[in-house]
Amino acid sequence: MQDLDLSICLIEDDETIREGYEYLIGNNEGYKITGSFASYEDAAKKIAKCDPDVILLDVELPGISGIDAIPKLKKLVPDAHIIILTVYEQEMMIFRALAGGASGYLTKDTPPAKILTSIKEAMDGGGPMSSNIARMVIQSFQRSEESPLTPRETEILEQIATGKSRKRIAEELFIDLETVKSHIKNIYSKLNVHSKADAIKLAKDNKFI
């Protein structure tokens, strides 16, 4: 594409991170920061005037979350491409973001150069993703359609398989501990197993995860 000044808006509640992105992007030729906001609510008041080509959007924001903000932003600035830039890698969150209209999904350990190329990639109609996110999307399509597990149960079992505790899973999925325990009980019942190890083995053997 031509070397144009791409207009970028940031929605990130951490001031240090936000300023870091402002410096990274604004000091590269062909990119300009036209808006920088700590929440969706702040952005909603001014973002239409900023006329962004691309919005870099965090997930965990005060007030309305980044995921819930996507369709609202699409109404305010329909031509803008939205790229999620977050620490969260949960599958349900990724699919909610993409289904909601996000053009890409990057994790915050993405190298600066990749963020810049991802902005251009989105502008060219691509769907930029961090390699680990792309891998999760591909794996989800490779799973057996015969799985008895719901998407949420599948997600929790995948988290268990990586060694995360029930408490950690609850925190990362924004659900309470009792809900996680209930899902695990249902997983064991559906798979007819009585231990974590057996559940993981059976699910992997049958491509449920």
Q: For residue 196, give the H/E element and its range.
A: helix 196-205
**Res. 90: pLDDT tops 80:** no
The predicted pLDDT at position 37 comes to 97
Confidence of residue 52 (pLDDT cuts 50, 70, 90): very high
Tell me if the domain spanning 144-205 has CATH number 3.30.70.1400.
Answer: no
**Res. 58: pLDDT tops 60:** yes
User: Read out DSSP for 113-161?
Assistant: HHHHHHHHHHHTT---B-HHHHHHHHHHHHS-TT--S-HHHHHHHHHHH
Confidence of residue 2 (pLDDT cuts 50, 70, 90): very low
Task: For CA atoms 161, 163, 164, 165, give the dihedral sign.
Answer: positive
Separation of alpha carbons 66 and 39, rounded Å: 9
**Res. 92: pLDDT tops 80:** no
Separation of alpha carbons 112 and 110, rounded Å: 6
pLDDT tens digits, one per residue of 99-152 = 889 999 998 888 889 999 999 999 999 999 988 888 777 777 767 778 899 989
The residues near 196 (Cβ < 8 Å, ≥ 6 apart) are 160
Q: Could you tell me what percent of the chain has a pLDDT over 70? A: 97
Tokens of 92: 């349900």
Task: For CA atoms 22, 25, 27, 33, give the dihedral sign.
Answer: negative
The predicted pLDDT at position 12 comes to 96
The predicted pLDDT at position 36 comes to 96
pLDDT tens digits, one per residue of 145-197 = 788 999 899 999 999 998 999 999 998 888 999 999 999 999 999 999 999 99
Domain ranges of the chain: 6-136, 144-205
The predicted pLDDT at position 184 comes to 96
The predicted pLDDT at position 4 comes to 62
The predicted pLDDT at position 138 comes to 74
Separation of alpha carbons 184 and 125, rounded Å: 40
The whole-chain average pLDDT of the chain stands at 90
Flag whether the pTM goes above 0.85. Answer: no
Tokens of 56: 């870099």
Bridge partners for 114 per DSSP: none
Q: From the centroid of its chain, how far is CA 162? A: 19
CATH fit for domain 6-136, picks 3.30.420.10, 3.90.1150.180, 3.20.20.70, 3.40.50.2300: 3.40.50.2300
